[in-house]
Amino acid sequence: MKESVIKNLKILREKGPLVQSITNYVVMNNTANALLAIGASPIMAHAKLEMADMVKIVNALVVNIGTLDEFWVDSMLLAAKEANERNTPWVLDPVGAGATPYRNETLTRLLTFKPTIIRGNASEIMALAKANVQTKGVDSTHSSDEALAYGKQLSKETSAVVCISGAVDYVIDGDKLTKIKNGHELMGKVTGMGCTATALVAAFAGIEPDPYRATVAGMTTLGLAGEIAARKAEGPGTLQLYLYDALYHLKESEVKQWAKVEESHD
Amino acid sequence: MKESVIKNLKILREKGPLVQSITNYVVMNNTANALLAIGASPIMAHAKLEMADMVKIVNALVVNIGTLDEFWVDSMLLAAKEANERNTPWVLDPVGAGATPYRNETLTRLLTFKPTIIRGNASEIMALAKANVQTKGVDSTHSSDEALAYGKQLSKETSAVVCISGAVDYVIDGDKLTKIKNGHELMGKVTGMGCTATALVAAFAGIEPDPYRATVAGMTTLGLAGEIAARKAEGPGTLQLYLYDALYHLKESEVKQWAKVEESHD
Amino acid sequence: MKESVIKNLKILREKGPLVQSITNYVVMNNTANALLAIGASPIMAHAKLEMADMVKIVNALVVNIGTLDEFWVDSMLLAAKEANERNTPWVLDPVGAGATPYRNETLTRLLTFKPTIIRGNASEIMALAKANVQTKGVDSTHSSDEALAYGKQLSKETSAVVCISGAVDYVIDGDKLTKIKNGHELMGKVTGMGCTATALVAAFAGIEPDPYRATVAGMTTLGLAGEIAARKAEGPGTLQLYLYDALYHLKESEVKQWAKVEESHD
């Protein structure tokens, strides 16, 4: 699996996939910069009048409901529908799932367009798996371990690859499971780090036909870049900036040496 | 008062209050990062369909009119109404008050829902106190001293704690007045520093029942973090990042040593 | 021309022009910070109900279609119309021109209000000049050289100053042409660097009556600040922050020493 990450990082930088994001206002700048740093080409576009034309030219799509509203949800549904019809890979980030009925209803509608990959924190994945879990805002109050069973159920129900991010990231594809133990706790003190993970996963999905491998590649490269950035960061502010530097410079040899990617066979 | 700041900083980090912001597009990322760095949990949500559900679960609310429009103003009014009915503390940031009639009308409507705290620069507070002052965009063209009388009037008229931020910050609660002399002039060269102040004030209001003390705590911790960041910053770009690091690491002993908080008895 | 840049930098810092931006969500924070760093005063405002009042008090306007939608396009048209009627200089940034018919139609409508200056990358300027060029998202796939003939045509058709930014920036005013060879390749790995260029050009247009000179001043100062930032940056993350520091500290002597501004007479 580690070899697959290395190979995909190389391919991503050669191909520079075009990734469309319909995402939240808070993280647009961060995720665009992360995509540029890793070697992808970001575009943010949500107008209904250009949705079909835009989805047609991109290699992958992100739908992130963080700052959803009545106007943007229509755009999200339109884009998801278009991506599904074209077999363009699309990644759902269910920010704040479980926090309000409106988020849950919106997610139910989005699921009908069969996301290729779903990435959330433990609370969000549990809520999405209809676990009736009480979510505290957008930060997770559950561990990834607790959410694992729910994640497996969600992957089977939706046929999507499901990623539960946290201290350990779980990537689930039906009965398959990969654990990634990279990353640094300070990353949780920077807003939108989960959204950045989703964007990177989409970038890899834009060049790697197997969404399971694409997800592992995205989570591993972000985790590694976070670790490298944390070595010199003095807090969450500097961490965020050094992270882009680290993504930009991430070497295949560093992935080989430091990636902690384990396929599980339980 | 300094002891109250220290105590509240400790409590904030233990409790991690959930702070909802309906704020402007320019600063969403900054204020979310500042809230995370100090120890709070940010959520940005403005959809009308989830407003009641969201306000119900948060500890404090920010309404900031910086990039207001016809759609968002409805959300702001709905959130303010809900917060007022639930006795959830809410902080009004009247960005650009006085610049256009539309801003003034919107502020008049928001005031009917009795903000717990109002924080603005001198020009904004003067405009809000119906002083018919000509505002130049969103940057202040008046000193805090000039605005003090207007601030007192506004506090008495609205029963809100009023904060006028500037080289010296004034926190006014009816006849009570506290002056805070922390901060650094370079902070004025970073966009959204006032909005960040508002967010931190809301975070403290989420754990401290006295809004006067909450406001003093928010303004003092931001001022101190700005000073600490300015010691190593080489300009406004690096200042912004070091500020998050400084908020994250701010020690009770540093507040004790450097806070310049004076209660006034005039 | 270099002397004109130096003179205008001095005037800009003395006058602090107020620059309104109707721009995309991704870059609002960046462009506000760049404007503050160079010495201008930014305001982001797009509400239709305050458009006439706002355009009335500003020195220049930016219209950037990056994250356009049906709601924002109305605001853009209203602002452009108002600026045109008042002879307030306005700068059009045709982000993603050519990517979708909706962007092209919107640009055609905006052009009727006669932008003072148009700044885009090679692909965008070629698309805008109706070259029927296939644009790949928002990043340029053409060199500035290829686009030069299209830029000249566009400038003659619209009477606007046209700037094609890239490794070499071209500033075109009818038959006049200035080439600027400042900047650093790492700038292309930071999102919104073109949008920042547009914002700085608008700031100079707010104090320099000749839009040709204003454009040269904006592009040159950004290029120089990028070079200075790149000397110590370790990647795109740190570059972005050091850029604001560099804009803030940019000295007239540095412009004199390092600016590579050439008037062309072909």
**Is the confidence at residue C134, as pLDDT, over 60?**
no
Q: b vs e for A227-243, b when ≥16 Cβ sit within 10 Å of the residue's Cβ?
A: bbbbeebbbbbbbbbbb
Query: Phi/psi zone of residue C24: left (φ > 0), alpha (ψ -120 to 50 degrees), beta?
Result: beta
Q: Which positions in chain A touch B36 (Cβ < 8 Å)?
A: 189-191, 236
CB contacts < 8 A (B, C): 104
CB A24 within 8 A of CB A211: no
Using CA atoms, how far residue B112 sits from A230, B77, B105, B158, in Å, is: 47, 9, 11, 9
Residue entry with tokens 């924190």: A121
State the complex-level ipTM.
Answer: 0.93
- Per-residue pLDDT band for C128 (boundaries 50, 70, 90) equals very high
- Closest residue in chain B to residue C54, using alpha carbons only: B100
Residue C138 contacts A, CB cutoff 8 Å:
yes
Express as a percent the part of chain B with pLDDT over 70.
95
Has residue C214 got a pLDDT over 90? yes
Name the H helices within chain A. Answer: 2-15, 28-38, 51-57, 70-86, 101-111, 122-128, 144-158, 193-205, 211-232, 236-249, 252-258
Q: Which of residues 102-131 of C touch A (CB under 8 A)?
A: 102-103
Exposure on the CB side of residue A103, measured as CA atoms within 13 A:
31
- How confident is the prediction for chain C on average, in pLDDT? 94
Check CB contact under 8 Å for B44 and A29. Answer: no
The share of chain A scoring above pLDDT 90, in percent, equals 92
- The closest alpha carbon to C196, from C107, C91, C126, belongs to C91
Give tens-digit pLDDT for C66-116.
Answer: 999 999 999 999 999 999 999 999 999 999 999 999 999 999 999 999 999
Please give the radius of gyration of chain C, using alpha carbons only, rounded to the nearest integer. Answer: 17
- Helix (H) / strand (E) element for A91: namely strand A90-93
For domain A1-264, the CATH architecture is: 3-Layer(aba) Sandwich (3.40)
Mean pLDDT of chain A: 94
Q: Do C192 and A29 touch (CB under 8 A)?
A: yes
Residues annotated in a binding site of A for ATP: 119, 165
Residues A138, B48: C-beta atoms closer than 8 Å: no
Task: Report chain C residues whose CB lies below 8 A from the CB of B236.
Answer: 33, 36-37, 244-245, 248
**pLDDT at C170 exceeding the cut of 60:** yes
pLDDT the model gives residue C131 = 57
Q: Does C196 touch chain B (CB under 8 A)?
A: no
Residue A195: band (very low, low, confident or very high) from pLDDT cuts 50, 70, 90: very high
The answer to whether the CB atoms of C190 and A36 lie below 8 A apart is: yes
Amino acid (one-letter) located at B172: I
Whether A20 and A79 have beta carbons less than 8 Å apart is answered as yes
C109 known ligand binder: no
The pLDDT-based confidence of B134 (bands split at 50, 70, 90) is low
Contact A86, A128 (CB under 8 A): no
Cβ neighbours of C22 in B, within 8 Å: none
Which pLDDT does position C59 carry in this prediction?
98
Binding site annotation covers B165? yes
| pLDDT at C36 (0 to 100) | 97
C-interface mutation test, from A20, A24, A28, most C Cβ less than 10 A away: A28
Decide if A29 and C30 are in contact by the 8 Å CB cutoff: yes
Q: Residue C135: what pLDDT?
A: 59
Mean of pLDDT values over C115-130: 94
∠ Cα A266 A94 B206 (to 5°): 115
In 3D space, the residue among C53, C34, C44, C41 whose CA is nearest the CA of residue C72 turns out to be: C44
Binning pLDDT at 50, 70 and 90, where does residue A46 land?
very high
Q: Name subunits touching A (3+ CB pairs < 8 A).
A: B, C
Res C136: pLDDT: 60
Q: What's the mean pLDDT in B152-156?
A: 94
**Stretch C249-264: mean pLDDT:** 96
Kindly state the average pLDDT of the residues C190-214: 97
Amino acid code (one letter) for C107: L
As a whole number, the mean pLDDT across chain B is 94
Q: What is the mean pLDDT of residues A193-212?
A: 98
Domain ranges for chain B? 1-264
- Predicted confidence band of residue A137 (pLDDT cuts 50, 70, 90): low
Interface contacts (A, C; CB < 8 Å)? 104
Question: Does position A72 have pLDDT exceeding 70, yes or no?
Answer: yes
What is residue B266's predicted lDDT score, i.e. its pLDDT? 60
Chain C residues within 8 A of A29 when measuring between CB atoms: 26-27, 29-30, 191-192
B132 pLDDT higher than 70: no
| Predicted pLDDT at B156 | 94
Cβ contact, residue pair B54, A192, below 8 Å: no
Band (B137; pLDDT cuts 50, 70, 90)? low
Range in A190-194, B42-46, B54-58, B129-133 the model is least confident about: B129-133
Q: How many of the other CB atoms lie within 10 Å of CB of A87? A: 8
Residue of C nearest to A20 (CA): C137
Q: What confidence score (pLDDT) does residue B42 get? A: 97
* Percentage of the residues of chain B whose pLDDT score is greater than 90: 92
3 state SS for B129-173: CCCCCCCCCCCCCCCHHHHHHHHHHHHHHHCCEEEEECCCEEEEE
Mean pLDDT, to the nearest integer, of A191-211?
A: 97
Give the lowest-confidence range in A141-145, B76-80, B88-92, C44-48.
Answer: A141-145
Nearest to A248 among C30, C102, C189 (CB): C189
For the cut 70, the answer to whether the pLDDT of residue B135 exceeds it is no
More confident residue, A138 or C240: C240
pLDDT at B251: 97
| Secondary element (H or E) of residue B245 | helix B236-249
Output the pLDDT for position A142: 73
Indicate if the pLDDT at residue B49 is higher than 60: yes
**How many Å lie between the alpha carbon of B19 and the closest alpha carbon of chain C?**
21
Cα–Cα nearest to A250, from A232, A224, A230: A224
Strand, coil or helix: A142? coil
Chain A residue with CA closest to B229: the answer is A237
Reported confidence tier of residue C137, pLDDT bands at 50, 70, 90 = low
pLDDT of amino acid C260: 97
Neighbours of chain B (3+ CB pairs under 8 A): A, C
What pLDDT score does C138 carry? 67
Contact A53 C102 (CB under 8 A): yes
Q: What is the pLDDT of residue A131?
A: 57
Confidence of residue B131 (pLDDT cuts 50, 70, 90): low
Residue B170 predicted with pLDDT over 70: yes
